[in-house]
Structures are given as structure tokens and as C-alpha cells.
Amino acid sequence: MANAEELMRATVRRIVPYSPGKSSAEVMADLGIEKVTKLASNENPIGPSPRVIEAMCEAASEAHIYPDPQCVELTDALADMLGVDPATVVVGRGSDEVIHMLGLAFVDPGDSIVFSVPPFAVYPYTARLMDAEEVTIPHRGFRHDLEAMADAIDETTGLVFISNPYNPTGTIMTAEEIDAFMSRVPDTCIVVFDEAYFEYADAPDYPDTLAYVREGRRCAVLRTFSKVYALAGLRVGYGAAPVDITNALKQVREPFNVASMAQVAALAALHDREHVERCVAVNREGREFLYAQIGQMGLDYVPTQANFVFVDVGMDSVECFDALMRRGVTVRTGDIFGLPTFIRVTIGTREQNETFVTALRETLAARGSRPGPR
């Protein structure tokens, strides 16, 4: 009898399942510790708005009813916030699912998908799922090399992904740079602006990519409720694109794809701007604190426009990760991004940031490094 691997599509064998790392519960059980400060997944440390929690409690009694398959109320609210026609908005189980829809709708086997390396894990996943060629462009100075990406586009290109702010480094491409790039992109492919960390970006030259959507350009702008809105556990995100693109996405969208609770929570989150502003302010304060502390240790870091900092710890990142984990702090190692001396640390609350800084200082001291004065 043939086993399942022999029956599996050849291109699926190329997919490496996403590894989220150990959960806090696993770390506590393995190490016998009572508390873990998780700074590995770029989650919002403040948590969801109280209005979100209240709305979810009220909606719980209707969990037996299928969700609105069109997400009409949420779509209308998003369109109003973005200043676009509701027909240009599509909602998914996180922005990840919208990426999946784009692959299903616009990529044939043998087509190519262009993205920077290191990439967000869903980009190569989508290429492999669709049996497409991965055209990978190395980062330049922790930023997208847009000139090289434009050069790589040809008649086979279905999608081009631009993560802005860029995960894992936190850098951005400016409005001028994006404009220059878009002037070179043919209308035979779709440029996907993945803006999961958009709300944290405060650089004055951050681009307004929705302007391209309003102009009807071949692009899609993706955002999520997982980060600043703190709904990572509910899986809800969205994309905005010209109507002919969203119509295609809706053709491949699974029925009832976004749970009722997620729709209710997202709608409530949109209506609590004060909570969003608080989360952004806490992130900005934490960013400056980490810059100062990391700098005092004599370490290099990449200035960020997101809710994480990419730090060169000057040692093997896996070794650093293990030492931090034993001290009750989890981060993301840079080896998975091809940068083995870097770690990516989520910006947390003041208490979480201080815990991380103490643990990192102890790790460097134990290794014989000489962190600067506190």
C-alpha cells in the first residue's frame, strides 16, 4: 500500500510547516519555572480593548449561528475608515488567508512570486502551495532592495510581496521609494503591500499605498487585527484592492471563513480609537527604552517602525535564546532569517522590557561580554 507521502502533490513536499516555537506553558513545564515573559511573536502586550471583551461576551450566546459569510458590517466599517468603496475590501482569517486567496486566484503552476529574503513565512508557503517559482531578492541594509525586485519581474510574475514595515527587521520603504518602484511595475502582476504593522509606523515618509488602490492600480494592501488591535487569537485581517481583484479573491474565499466572534471583536476594536492610541504610545515608549538599554550594552540594533526590535547580540542567536529562556524570557532567533547573531524581540510593557534587558545583560555577562553601565 502506498503511503500518503507517495500520494502527496510533489510541490506540497517542499512546504516546511510553520514553527511558532515553544509556548509559554511548554517552557514553564520544561524548565520548572512559574513565569515566562513571551517576547517572541510580536503580540500586543496590552491585550484587547475592554469594549472588545464586552462585545464578545454579548455575542457568545449566538455561537450556534453561522457567521455572516460576507462580513458586511465589518467590511462597511473598514471601508469607511480607509476611505474606499466596500467592494474593494475583503476580510480573511488573518491577513495570512488573504495572501492564500491571492495565490489561489492569481498564481498558476510555473508562475513566479517575487519577495525579499528573509521573508515572512507565508510568502514561500504560498509559492510552494501553488507550485510557483520563488524569486528571492536578498535584503540590502535590512531593507527591501526595490530596484532588484523590479528587475526580477517578468511575464511569469504573478505576485510581488513588499512587507512594510518589514518583518523581521522593522524597516520601512518610503513613499518616494515605493512611487519609483511602482512606476516600473507592469500591470501584468499584482504588488502586495503587507502592512501588518502599519499602525505602529510613525515615520513622516511612510507611504499611503491605499492611494494606489483608489487609482485602480494592480495592487493589494493587507492589514490585520492581530497586532495593534490585539486580536491574534481570533484570526481576522483584511485586504483592500481594486474591485476586479477583490472579486477574484471572493471567488476562492471559503464560505463562513471568519468566525462570528472575530467579526464582532474586530468591529468593536475599530470603534475604540483610544485603546489603539494607548497601544501605540506604549510601544513608542518601549521602543525608546530598549534603544537606550541595548545601546548601553554596546550592541547594534535596527531602528524599527514596528512593535519589535532586531538586535545583533554578537553571539549565536540559538545560544542566546536558550540562555534567555532559562531566565524566563522567550524571543525569536535570527538563524531562521539567515542572520545567526540576531534576535528579534517584541516590544512589551515596561515591566516586560525591563525583564528582558536584565536577562540579556546576565546572558552577556555569563558569556564574558561586558555590557555597559545601566
pLDDT, average across residues 121-131: 95
Predicted local confidence at residue 374, as pLDDT: 39
Kindly tell me if the per-residue pLDDT of 216 is higher than 70: yes
Residues 136 and 262 in one domain: yes
Summarised one tens digit per residue, pLDDT across range 87-110 is: 999 999 999 999 999 999 999 999
- Check whether residue 172 and residue 307 sit in a common domain: no
Q: How confident is the model at residue 4 (pLDDT cuts 50, 70, 90)?
A: confident
Q: Are residues 156 and 19 in the same domain?
A: no
Higher pLDDT pick, 369 / 329 = 329
Domain around 178: 50-271
Are residues 198 and 309 located together in one domain of the fold?
no
pLDDT band at 14 (very low <50, low <70, confident <90, very high): confident
Taking the C-alpha atoms of residue 367 and residue 314, their distance in angstroms, rounded to an integer, is 11
Segment 190-198 mean pLDDT = 98
Average pLDDT, the chain: 94
Question: How far apart, in whole angstroms, are the C-alpha atoms of residue 26 and residue 31?
Answer: 8
Distance CA 42, CA 115 (A): 21
d(CA 243, CA 117): 30
Q: Is the pLDDT of residue 242 over 80?
A: yes
What's 216's domain CATH number?
3.40.640.10
d(CA 249, CA 91): 10
Residue 152: inside a domain = yes
Instruction: Tell me which of 271, 287, 310 is where a domain ends.
Output: 271
- Looking at 218, 242, 271, which one is the last position of a domain? 271
What is the per-residue pLDDT across 154-179, written as a single tens digit (0 to 9) for each? Answer: 999 999 999 999 999 999 999 999 99
Strand pairing class (308-312; 342-346): antiparallel
Average pLDDT, stretch 202-225?
Answer: 97
| Residue 346: pLDDT band with limits 50, 70, 90 | very high
Q: pLDDT-based confidence at 373, cuts 50/70/90?
A: very low
Whether 312 maps to a domain, the answer reads yes
263 and 339 both lie in a single domain: no
One domain, residues 207 and 340: no
DSSP label of 314: S
Same domain, 38 and 70: no
Q: Is residue 373 included in any domain, yes or no? A: no
CATH number of residue 18's parent domain: 3.90.1150.10
Query: Residues 29, 94: one domain?
Result: no
Give the Cα separation of 39 and 269 in Å (integer): 23
Distances (CA, A) of 113 to 87, 153, 155, 190, 246: 26, 9, 11, 10, 19
Among 328, 279, 331, 324, which residue's Cα sits nearest to residue 306?
279
Quick one: angle between helices 350-366 and 317-326, nearest 10? 120
Query: Is the domain of 116 the same as that of 262?
Result: yes
Identify whether 371 is part of a domain. no
Helix (H) or strand (E) holding 194: strand 190-194
Examine residue 372 and state whether it is found in any structural domain, yes or no.
Answer: no
Answer whether residue 374 is part of any domain: no
191 & 265 share domain = yes
Of 236, 271, 306, at which residue does a domain stop?
271
Same domain? 174 vs 143:
yes
Q: Does residue 331 carry a pLDDT above 60?
A: yes
Of the listed ranges 11-15, 47-51, 122-126, 254-258, the one predicted with least confidence: 11-15
- pLDDT band at residue 369 under the 50/70/90 scheme: low
| 277 pLDDT tier (thresholds 50, 70, 90) | very high
75 in a domain, yes or no?
Answer: yes
What number is the average pLDDT over the span 20-40? 79
Statement: residue 209 has pLDDT above 60: yes
- 26: which 3 cell numbers? 511548554
My answer on whether 197 and 292 are in the same domain is no
Q: Is residue 167 included in any domain, yes or no? A: yes
When divided into structural domains, the chain yields a total of 2
